[in-house]
Amino acid sequence: MLFDALLERPARAVPALVASASSHLDCPEFARVANLGGSTTLVQPTPWLTLALCLLVAGPAFAQPQPLTRQRQDRRVSLPTQPGEPPPEVHVAPGSITVLMLFNAPVERDSLEVDRTRFKWVDLGERTLNLEPAAELGASERLVVKVRFKDRALPAQAVLGLVAHPTEVDGKVEVDRRANTPEALLNALTLKTTELEDLKARCEENGPMGLAFSGWLTGNTYPIIFIEQRPSAETRGLQFQRSMGFRGGHSALVTFHLLNLPGQTPWALGQARLIEAGGGATTILSAQMRPQPLAPGEEGVVVVEATTAPWTQGRAFSVELADTSGQRLLFLNLRTK
* Angle at the Cα of 307 from the Cα atoms of 305 and 310, rounded to 5 degrees: 80
pLDDT digits (tens, 9 = 90+) for 169-188: 999 999 988 766 676 677 77
pLDDT band at 265 (very low <50, low <70, confident <90, very high): very high
Q: Which CATH number fits domain 71-176: 3.90.320, 3.40.710, 3.90.660, 2.60.40?
A: 2.60.40
Per-residue pLDDT of 90-102, as tens digits, reads 999 999 999 998 7
The domains of the chain are located at: 2-62, 71-176, 224-336
Domains 71-176 and 224-336 share a fold: yes
Q: Please, which pLDDT band fits residue 145 given cuts at 50, 70 and 90?
A: very high
Pick the CATH number of 224-336 from 3.10.20.90, 2.60.40.1180, 2.60.40.10, 2.40.50.100: 2.60.40.10
Cβ-contact 146, 71 below 8 angstroms:
no
Contact 153, 188 (CB under 8 A): yes
Range with the lowest mean pLDDT among 2-11, 55-64, 118-127, 242-251? Answer: 2-11
Query: Cα(90)–Cα(76) distance, rounded to whole angstroms?
Result: 10
Q: Strand (E) positions, the chain?
A: 32-34, 40-42, 71-78, 89-91, 98-101, 119-124, 128-133, 143-148, 157-163, 168-176, 224-228, 238-247, 252-260, 269-275, 284-290, 299-306, 317-323, 329-336
Query: pLDDT: is 145 or 68 the higher one?
Result: 145
Question: Which pLDDT does position 279 carry in this prediction?
Answer: 85
